[in-house]
Amino acid sequence: MPIAHPNSLTLGCDCLGTIQYFDGVLNDHKGEPSVIKNAVCIHEEDAGTLWKHTEYRTGKVALARSRRLVISFIVTVVNYEYALYWYLYTDATIAFEIKATGELSTNLLEQGATPSGYGTTVAPQINGQYHQLVTTNSLENFSTQHMFSMRLDPMIDGVKNTVSQVDVVPLEGDVGSNTNPYGQGFTLREIPLKTTHTEQGQANSLSGRIWKISNPSSLHPFTGQPVAWKLVPMNTPPLMAKPGSIIHRRAGFAKRSLWVTPYHDEQMFAAGFYVNQSYGGAGLDEWTKEKKNVEDEDVVIWHTFGVTQ
């Protein structure tokens, strides 16, 4: 099974500019501490235009540049490298990016053979096979997905938060109606996720779906609405592995784009502990069996995202 190896980062190659490095301390196979030199890189960089406006009446232009603080590290997972970046922007946006690089996972074809829909010939008799890497820890099988789970522990003006699913929807009235006379109106539909059994589901690019994390007891002074941040998801297809497969059992978290659970000290990994020895059903599948309140509570958000190609 794949094992992740953090990299020691090199100035001028992995990171550029004025850099602050931090060592990482992990455990080896015997449980002893192991130091990874320069495992984490922190630097600041220009991030393009923050905002701009040209006043057409006077021609006066106002513009501000954006900067971001970058926190990065790179891990090797067998033939892959994943370069992971946290971006903290001056407008309070927080973004996360994973750059997938490394080498293809390949196998040898017999002379004259073709992958027959299970891969792509990348050189004579060399097949880049379709495969699947599903990660909180790592699992591998044959398909074409690399999927990750991000654990987010929000505290929006305090620990009692509510998560809502927000979609952009057209107004119901027909063209010419009183509610939608020109037929071009649209609005937001917001559904609070009240329990672990409330339909918590998939990203939806067709409705511009986001999830809003709000604090019902903290109201914005101008709007009168609860203060909130929004999670803008990556629109990843759900897990392709079928029910009954070992991947589907072990990586139950990948069946949905979003899960919300009550905070618990020991619930740290979406697929549970000891994934490579698991028979499945651990992690989010287990934690959401019982119906629990997640409205106006100390909650944890789990977002599944990745690459399907």
State whether 61 and 201 are in the same domain: no
CATH number reported for the structural domain that contains residue 276 in this entry: 2.70.98.20
- Residue that terminates a domain, selected from 71, 105, 139: 105
Does any domain span residue 116? no
For the chain, percent helix, then strand, then coil, each to nearest 5?
5, 50, 45
Does any domain span residue 111? no
State whether 294 and 210 are in the same domain: yes
State whether 4 and 101 are in the same domain: yes
State whether 9 and 69 are in the same domain: yes
Q: What does the alpha-carbon distance between residue 258 and residue 40 come to, in Å, rounded to a whole number?
A: 28
* pLDDT for res 105: 81
Rg over alpha carbons for the chain, rounded to the nearest Å, is 23
Does any domain span residue 54? yes
Does any domain span residue 122? no
State whether 100 and 194 are in the same domain: no
* Tens of pLDDT, residues 86-117: 999 999 999 999 998 888 888 899 998 988 88
Structural domain harbouring 5: 1-105
State whether 165 and 290 are in the same domain: yes
List the chain residues with pLDDT less than 50.
1, 136-143
State whether 5 and 85 are in the same domain: yes
Domain count, the chain: 2
In the block, residue with structure tokens 């699947």: 132
CB 152 within 8 A of CB 300: yes
Dihedral sign computed on CA atoms, order 252, 235, 95, 91: negative
H or E stretch including 147?
A: strand 145-152
pTM above 0.85, yes or no: yes
State whether 302 and 179 are in the same domain: yes
Does any domain span residue 140? no
In the block, residue with structure tokens 């490394």: 102
- Residue that terminates a domain, selected from 105, 130, 158: 105
Q: Determine how β-strand 226-231 pairs with β-strand 210-219.
A: antiparallel
Q: What does the alpha-carbon distance between residue 13 and residue 114 come to, in Å, rounded to a whole number?
A: 38
CB 149 within 8 A of CB 271: yes
* pLDDT for res 133: 57
Does any domain span residue 142? no
State whether 216 and 294 are in the same domain: yes
State whether 80 and 170 are in the same domain: no
Going by C-beta distance under 8 Å and a sequence separation of 6 or more, which residues neighbour residue 40?
A: 9, 21, 22, 24, 71, 72, 73
State whether 297 and 161 are in the same domain: yes
Phi–psi pair at 266, nearest 5 degrees: -95, 0
Does any domain span residue 135? no
* pLDDT for res 285: 93
Q: What does the alpha-carbon distance between residue 288 and residue 302 come to, in Å, rounded to a whole number?
A: 12
Report CA dihedral (172, 176, 182, 184) to the nearest 10 degrees: 20
Does any domain span residue 196? yes
Q: What does the alpha-carbon distance between residue 259 and residue 221 come to, in Å, rounded to a whole number?
A: 30
State whether 88 and 226 are in the same domain: no
* Tens of pLDDT, residues 128-139: 888 765 554 333
- Residue that terminates a domain, selected from 68, 90, 105: 105
